Structure 1
Amino acid sequence: SLDIVEMDLLDAESVREAVAGCESVIHTAAVVVLKSKRAQEKIVDPSVVGTRNVLDAIDSSGTVRCLIHTSSTAAIRPSSWEDGQTLTTDTWAEDATIEENPYGLAKYTAERLVRDWHSAKNNSVRMVTINPCVVLGPPLSRRHLNGSPSFLMMLLRREIPFVITIHISIVDVRDVAEAHVRAMTQGE
């Protein structure tokens, strides 16, 4: 069975309680904010500290055998990316900075944390990372309207007052959800 659990990712005890007794963890939580005057606090820390708390909770549980980690193309897409370049597990957004790309920095740092943890565990916990692009679709709740859908709505409402050059890929949230379930139930 699948239980969707709400917790405070920055509260280690809250995360430990949520993970206790689980066999698999699908870690999808992230703050989807591209810019902030307090980027470290509002964007980077929730992803990095939250991910560290999830990993620590998995270690404490003794029951988790599978981690599905939702990352992002932002973690593996460097600013120097060029049209046609293939992004792989060896491609990283290492040039992401708190000033220029705090979301990419957050996702890159969190994913590296997961991969380093997995290596240190000698692969004793099966781990799959999924790197979707902009995820759109029916929201789980109204508060999810502040994530990726807000950017699309800003474009549609002409609230972005300038023309921007942008490469954007979009994936349906239902396809991403199916990928997570398949990764958990069928393997890598």
Structure 2
Amino acid sequence: MEIVCVTGAGGYVASWVVKELLAKGYFVHGTVRNPADEKKNGHLKKLKHAEEKLHLFKADMLDYASLCTAMDGCTGVVHIATPVPAGKVADPQAEMLEPAITGTRNVMNACLKTKVKKVVVVSSVLAIVANPSWPKNQVTDENRWSDVEFCMKNDKWYSAAKAISEREALEFGKKNNLKVVTVCPSVVFGPMLQSTICTTNIILLNLFKGENSLNLIEFDNAQDDIYIPIVDVRDCANALLLAYEKPEADGRYLCSSHVLKMKALVELLKSLFPHYIYPTDFPALDEKLNYTCEKMVNLGWNYMSLEKTLVDSVETFQKNGLLS
């Protein structure tokens, strides 16, 4: 069976990708900063088939040589690793923008050197939506790109980094005859395989504590009753595998299964888990949001109910002692 390299293998989405690849019989090369760090990577070693089919490599996205070592012998790569700060950083251009872009360039060049046949690059819905000139009545799909200049002027550094990296990766593929597919997941909720909590699940967890912390992610008016696009981490992993396995997969894919307003999300959580204190103040916004993931669905993708995502998320929060 072929070998697939997963960058940032210990992360939230990447862990599920590793799990699914192993379950399907693939050998996996996972890049991590420190393979001996049990807190960050121990959960990977416990996955079914990990002992015989998972090899963790010490690699850094800014270290081209280490990436070449990890990708040696691989048929494909799923590039997920990216800097995601939990809050404000002192120098966003140096700490977010430049590492993300340089890291993706290193990955693409390493793929070329090691003769990888296909690369799936994980981008973000934030590489799509930060574009104020997109017509308000037009459905948001893969043709919409975040306006990089607008992002940098408005401190949306993560959005800018994702948009630049994704576009560069697609162009690199075309220039070098390398098959590159990009997937843009929305806000990812769902059960965690690791014990450390990620940025998106912090948002969900904080809602149970009466806090609206959507401002951790670069959406406009994040304290208001805005629309939030959500995808389950398991559905996201399946989307990435479809993008990798399907020969017809091409270009860019938006990956989001549910869109609802923050107030509606809180009401749903209340109905499922009535014993928590929830935020109550969501100033109304007269805005509409219409996404289509038809392209991803046409690839054979389907997704679970939002209720299941939320119930399973809470189960892992409780298991890891994150909810009293």
Deviation at 1:68, TM superposition (A): 0.6
Q: Distance in 1 between matches of 2:225 and 2:92?
A: 23
Larger Rg computed on CA atoms: 2
* Alignment of 1:181 onto 2:234: no
Matching residue of 1:25: 77
Question: Measured at CA, do residues 185 and 127 of structure 1 come closer, stay the same or move farther in structure 2, by a change above 3 Å?
Answer: same
Identify the structure with the greater strand proportion.
2
Give the count of matched residue pairs: 184
Deviation at 1:82, TM superposition (A): 6.3
Whether the aligned pair in 2 keeps the contact of 1:39 and 1:98 (CA below 8 Å) is: no
Q: Distance in 2 between matches of 1:140 and 1:45?
A: 29
* Alignment of 1:97 onto 2:152: yes
**Secondary structure of 1:142's match?**
coil
Mind listing any 5+ residue stretches in structure 2 that lack a counterpart? 1-25, 33-58, 214-221, 250-324
Q: Distance in 2 between matches of 1:163 and 1:99?
A: 17
Calculate the TM-score normalised by the size of structure 2: 0.52
Task: Output the amino acid matched with 1:106.
Answer: A
Deviation at 1:115, TM superposition (A): 1.4
Task: Output the amino acid matched with 1:151.
Answer: I
Percent identity, aligned pairs only, is 30
Tell me the alpha carbon deviations over residues 161-183 of structure 1, each in whole angstroms, 9 at most, x when there is no partner. Answer: 89434221110010010111111
Whether the aligned pair in 1 keeps the contact of 2:127 and 2:145 (CA below 8 Å) is: yes
Calculate the TM-score normalised by the size of structure 1: 0.86
2:164 maps to which of 109, 124, 139: 109
Question: Higher RCO, 1 or 2 (CA under 8 Å, sep at least 6)?
Answer: 1
Task: Output the amino acid matched with 1:129.
Answer: T
Q: Distance in 2 between matches of 1:14 and 1:98?
A: 34
**Secondary structure of 1:97's match?**
helix
Alignment of 1:23-172 (within 5 A): 23-33=75-85, 35-62=88-115, 64-80=116-132, 81=134, 85-94=138-147, 95-97=150-152, 99-121=154-176, 124-143=177-196, 145-160=197-212, 163-172=223-232
Mind listing any 5+ residue stretches in structure 1 that lack a counterpart? none
**Secondary structure of 1:131's match?**
strand
Matching residue of 1:15: 67
Please tell me the root mean square deviation across aligned C-alpha atoms, in Å: 2.2
**Secondary structure of 1:87's match?**
coil
